[in-house]
A and B are shown apart, each in its own frame.
Chain A
Amino acid sequence: DSGVTQTPKHLITATGQRVTLRCSPRSGDLSVYWYQQSLDQGLQFLIQYYNGEERAKGNILERFSAQQFPDLHSELNLSSLELGDSALYFCASSGTSLGVTEAFFGQGTRLTVV
C-alpha cells in the first residue's frame, strides 16, 4: 500500500459529461502529480500541485483542470468528455517540489467514456 488513495476506482460516463477524480496523498506529502495512461500514448504527465498551488503543467487539455485543497487532497476535473479521454488516471505524491524524491502512486481511476 503506497498510502496514496484514489477514488473512484472505476468510472463509466457518457460523452459530453463532466467527472471529478479524487486523490488523497500520503500523509505529509505536499506534492501531488496527475498522470494519464492511455493505450496509444502511454503514461503522460498532466499537472503538479505543491501545497495548494499549481507548480508544473504537462500535456493537460484545456477541458481538464485540477486543484489542491488546504487538506492537500487533490481533484482532477474532466469536462466535455470525449471517447479518447478513456484512460487510467493516476495520482502520485512526493514530499517536496524542490528536488526529486521518490514518488508514490495511487491505484488509479479507470475512466471509460461511452
Chain B
Amino acid sequence: KNEVEQSPQNLTAQEGEFITINCSYSVGISALHWLQQHPGGGIVSLFMLSSGKKKHGRLIATINIQEKHSSLHITASHPRDSAVYICAAAPYSGGGADGLTFGKGTHLIIQP
C-alpha cells in the first residue's frame, strides 16, 4: 500500500467548476507538498503545508494533521488548469531531510 494516497485518479470537469483533490498519508510528516505537472513534464511546486490553509490565486490547499489528510481546491477552474496534480509527503526525519514520498497523481482535465 502506498504511504500517500490520492483521489480521484482522474477527474474531468467543466470550466468554472470547483475542483477538489484529496490526499491521505499514513506516515508522520513534517510537511505536505502539492505539485503540478503539465503535459510537457515539468514539475512546479504549488504549496508546501505543515498546518492550516494556504491560498494562491484560485488555488487553496488545506491540511488536517490529526486526520492525516490534505485537500487541494481550485476555484473557477479553467482549461489551463488541466494537468496532473501530485501530493508529496516530506517525512518527519528529525534531522537530515529525506526525499519526498509521492502520491500517484490526479489527472485533471477541464473542458471549455
**A residues in contact (CB < 8 Å) with B:** 2, 31, 33, 35, 42-48, 50, 55-56, 58, 88, 90, 94, 96-108, 110
Contacts and interface: CB of A to CB of B under 8 A. Distances in A.
Nearest to B31: A100
Nearest to B90: A100
Contacts of A105: 35, 42-45
A104 B48 CA distance: 11
Closest 9 pairs between A and B when the two form their complex, measured CB to CB: A45-B99, A43-B102, A105-B43, A100-B90, A107-B42, A100-B31, A100-B30, A56-B98, A97-B97
A43 B31 contact: no
Interface size grouping (class) on chain B: 20 to 34
Contacts of B44: 2, 105
B33 A98 contact: no
Contacts of B95: 98
Contacts of B86: 43
10 contacts: A33-B99, A43-B88, A45-B98, A56-B96, A56-B98, A97-B96, A99-B97, A103-B48, A103-B100, A105-B43
Nearest to B40: A107
B96 to A, nearest CB: 5
A44 B96 contact: no
B97 A94 contact: yes
